[in-house]
Amino acid sequence: MSHRLPMPALTSAQMAEVDRLMVEEFGIELIQMMEQAGQRLAEQARRMLGGDLAGLRILVTSGGGNNGGGGLVAARNLHNHGAQVAVGISTAPQAFGSVPGQHWRTLNQMGLGLADFGPAQADLIIDALVGYGLRGQPTPALAARIDRLNSSGRPILALDVPSGLNATTGAAAEACIRSATTLTLALPKMGLLVEAARPYVGELVLADIGVPPALYRALGLEVGPIFSKADIIPAGWNTDGKASLRRRRPRPSRLS
């Protein structure tokens, strides 16, 4: 038997406010959050690939923004853990934001440049093209990239939100990543919980990026110790549409 621990879900605007407060009020810099996001993403990739990355091919597709930076951090960690990593970017390297650009330079110093194998040759594809800030339809170039990834037939792990999905409404663009798993950060985004979004979201898991409880309280949100046992937890849906964490009831002690 199981019970569920409810937690709030956020709009894109609320998540942007969380990110702002992390930096401006709590002194937790973007590079720290990006590092945690990328580490969690790499760990989820390892789980999806059976626990041993050695020799497996992973294609990391990254945009030029903060979501893409998380993908670049994951690429570095996956390479360090023995995977064969290829990186595909949807923007010119000079167009990266300052922090993602730093991670791109690190990858180049490590000898990891642009992709040398395509989606169809990958054991897993990581989608870090667009985060929760997507507005409207993807550009034609981005839409074409999304279609290529979907048509590869390979499993896709999306970071935070599948590229092409509106994080608040759950509306899918004409080109939208169809993920096997979505690893969303901090708290679920409302759009991930919409019934129509499930074919794009796949399995939904939640990752800790170190948001202090006091920050949530400042936004009027009550969030319990949802990561008390693990940094990545499964998330689901309950009847009122709120995200929920499946947790097992403790078994009676044999000593009682």
How confident is the model at residue 6, as a pLDDT?
63
For the purposes of burial, counting CB atoms within 10 Å of the CB of 42, is it exposed (0-12), middle (13-18) or buried (19 or more)?
A: buried
Fold of 2-247: Rossmann fold (3.40.50)
Q: How far apart are CA 209 and CA 40, in angstroms?
A: 8
pLDDT reading at 239 higher than 50: no
Question: Which tens digit of pLDDT belongs to each residue from 139-192?
Answer: 999 999 999 999 999 999 999 999 999 999 999 999 999 999 999 999 999 999
Using only C-alpha atoms, the chain has a radius of gyration, in whole angstroms, of: 18
Nearest by Cα to 88 from 66, 109, 71, 103: 71
Unique residue bearing structure tokens 């009676």: 252
For the purposes of burial, counting CB atoms within 10 Å of the CB of 136, is it exposed (0-12), middle (13-18) or buried (19 or more)?
A: exposed
Give the mean pLDDT of the chain.
Answer: 89
Q: Which pLDDT band holds residue 135 (cuts at 50, 70, 90)?
A: confident
pTM equals: 0.90
pLDDT reading at 251 higher than 70: no
pLDDT reading at 129 higher than 70: yes
pLDDT reading at 236 higher than 60: yes
Q: Which pLDDT band holds residue 42 (cuts at 50, 70, 90)?
A: very high
CA atoms within a 13 Å half-sphere pointing along the CA-CB vector of 209: 28
Helix (H) or strand (E) holding 23: helix 12-24
- Per-domain boundaries in the chain: 2-247
Neighbours of 195 (CB within 10 A): 9
Question: Which tens digit of pLDDT belongs to each residue from 53-81?
Answer: 999 999 999 999 999 999 999 999 999 99
Average pLDDT over residues 27-42: 97
How confident is the model at residue 242, as a pLDDT?
47
Q: How far apart are CA 125 and CA 179, in angstroms?
A: 9
